Amino acid sequence: MSPIRSARGRSLNPADDLSTRVTALEAALLAGSGILQPEDEIRARILVTKVAERTALSGDHTVVALAGATGSGKSSLFNALVGSDVATIGARRPTTSRPTAALWGDHDAGALLDWLKVDARHVVDTSAGSPSDGSSALDGLVLLDLPDFDSRQEANRVEAERVLELVDVFVWVTDPQKYADARLHDDFVRLLSQHEAVTLAVLNQEDRLPPEAVDRCAADLGRLLARDGIRGAVVLTTSVPTGAGIPELKRRIAESVAGHAASRRRLSADVITVARYLREQVADTETDPDRLPRRDLDTALGRAAGVPIVLDAVARDYRREAVASAGWLFTRWTGRMGRNPLNRLRLGSSSTPRPSRRREEAEDVSSLLARSSIPAASSATQSAVDLSIRAFARSASAGLPVPWVEALNKAAGRGSGELPDALDQAVLRTSLQARRPVWWSLANFFQWLFGLAAIAGLLWLLGLYVLGLLAIPRPETPSVGVVPVPVLLIAVGLLLGIALAGLARWWASIGARRRRAVIAGRLRTSIAATVEERIVTPVTEVLDRHRRTREGLDRAGS
């Protein structure tokens, strides 16, 4: 049996190889828990437990099982290897109902046999043996004679299958009549095809064949084993009555015992088999979360959060504040008669001076307990949100097996019930305040200047009128050309005020668009953060679990 080799061809320590594989399998099971098929996950976890239990037991023993069908002569072969009649031999029907163990060497194997649940134990006496019989090379061997795996008694079959799950080396014993039996190949050898390094095949009872037919049967058995996945299988031919092949079989078993690595190789093969089976439940790759399309999702959730309504209110609030600050002095009061559009949504004003840090923190806490008055999303908007979430999940799950698609869809929709509140809080947390434009103050100054000029001219004319009524001589009124200065003050003040008000409205429309764009960017960032937390992060976690499961199974089953 050759040592296990890495992909680059260097020999690997079986213990290190097993530890690496088990660690990778455990990581894959942890990542894929709840998504992998439950029965397969349980099977893999049982294997991990078995590895821990077997490696904790005696490392000085190698458990070799003789397994075969009824009439294959494995009990006779067992006695021949032991050198005494330990196993009961039956000619036509199975007589072995419980496994029998033979032990070579002085090391205590009690704990190991207790773990195997084998009560019938025989210690082989090697003191009288000669070096040529190979007995000393078998020190540490625990040889088991198993019940027939095709026994008519179900208890015998179950017992044989139970022990085969635990042994280190398989010796498949068959005979010229049953070497092509489907039970042997389909239910055992093929399922254990990854265990080539710990598998021996024995064609027993060669004495029943003509000499020229022995090689043909052995070659045919080798062909069947190769079809089962045991590549390069070597078939030994034996005969208990003549003793043919028994020394060679002992030598092969001794090779398995040498180095005490067979148990770890068998366990590694078990891990490989389970990992490759589980590997079929994951895809070869997964979508990169950073490349997932987000625009439609963010847009749909922004609409559901009422972002267009908020932006319209921001633009109206800007124009309202602009008119109140830069509008005509004698009519600007009418703009304050209506309610602030942002206050109507319980969002405050966009032109309020920025609050202090302490006040900001207090407002953040209170916003968590508050709700805006943004109208709830319509059914059409909510349908668009559902469609965008499903489309996002569909693009994220491209190429994944069905259980992973279901897990990803579940993750994407997990927070949908709390999404409206989360979006509302995202809007509330977004600052709608901006710096007061300088031109508002300049326009306000000139509006007051023009207004006071008009008022001064009006009061001047009113004073002249009162003096005339009282028959008091009026002072000479200065004029510019033919236009009296009071009239000129009134005309210039009113005309320039109205012109500046018209110009302010035009500037306000431009400023409102800019303010809308600034706030839109802030809201997009807040909505995107909510989308990231509620939808993208859960989806990314599932994709990351798939990646870790895939990588773990690849390492375990490579």
pLDDT for residue 35: 94
Q: pLDDT category, 372, cuts 50, 70, 90?
A: low
Lowest-confidence region among 13-17, 266-270, 419-423, 511-515: 13-17
In terms of pLDDT, which residue wins out, 91 or 547?
547
Q: Give mean pLDDT, residues 288-293.
A: 85
Give the model's confidence band at 8: pLDDT under 50 very low, under 70 low, under 90 confident, else very high. very low
Longest dimension (CA), the chain: 160
pLDDT in tens, 488-515: 989 998 999 899 989 988 998 998 899 8
pLDDT in tens, 254-284: 988 887 788 888 898 889 989 999 999 999 9
For residue 65, CA distances in Å to 30, 62, 174, 185, 244 come to: 33, 10, 13, 17, 20
- CB distance 355 to 363 below 8 Å: yes
Question: Which has the minimum average pLDDT: 297-306, 413-422, 432-441, 533-542?
Answer: 413-422
pLDDT digits (tens, 9 = 90+) for 178-193: 888 887 887 777 777 6
| Interaxial angle between packed helices 38-56 and 262-279, expressed in degrees from 0 to 180 and rounded to the nearest 10 | 170
Q: Is the pLDDT of residue 367 over 60?
A: no
- Contacts (Cβ under 8 Å, ≥6 apart) of 325: 332, 440, 441, 443, 444
Looking at residue 435, the DSSP 8-state letter turns out to be P
Distance CA 322, CA 332 (A): 10
Which two structure tokens, joined as six digits, stand for 337? 């008669």
Q: How sure is the predictor about 362, in pLDDT bands with cuts at 50, 70 and 90? A: very low
pLDDT, one tens digit per residue, over 34-81 is 999 999 999 999 999 999 998 888 778 899 989 888 888 888 899 999
Find the mean pLDDT for residues 229-238: 83
Confidence class for position 120, pLDDT limits 50, 70, 90: confident
How far apart, in whole angstroms, are the C-alpha atoms of residue 423 and residue 96? 72
pLDDT band at 304 (very low <50, low <70, confident <90, very high): confident
Compute CA 483 distance to the chain's CA centroid, rounded to the nearest angstrom. 86
> Which of the two residues, 502 and 384, has the higher pLDDT score?
502
Which pTM does this prediction carry?
Answer: 0.74
- What domains can you pick out in the chain, each with its CATH number? 59-260 (3.40.50.300), 289-557 (no CATH)
Query: 83-116 burial by CB neighbour count: b if 16+ within 10 A, else e?
Result: eeebbeeeeeebebeebbbbbbbeeebeebbebb
Cβ neighbours for 469, distance < 8 A, ≥ 6 positions apart: none
CA 520: distance to chain centroid? 34
User: What DSSP string describes 81-103?
Assistant: HHTS--S---SSS----S-EEEE
- Strand residues in 146-251 grouped as ranges (E): 169-174, 199-203, 235-237
d(CA 428, CA 242): 93
Distance, CA of 72 to CA of 87 (rounded, Å): 14
Distance CA 429, CA 438 (A): 27
User: How crowded is residue 69: how many other Cβ atoms within 10 Å of its Cβ?
Assistant: 21
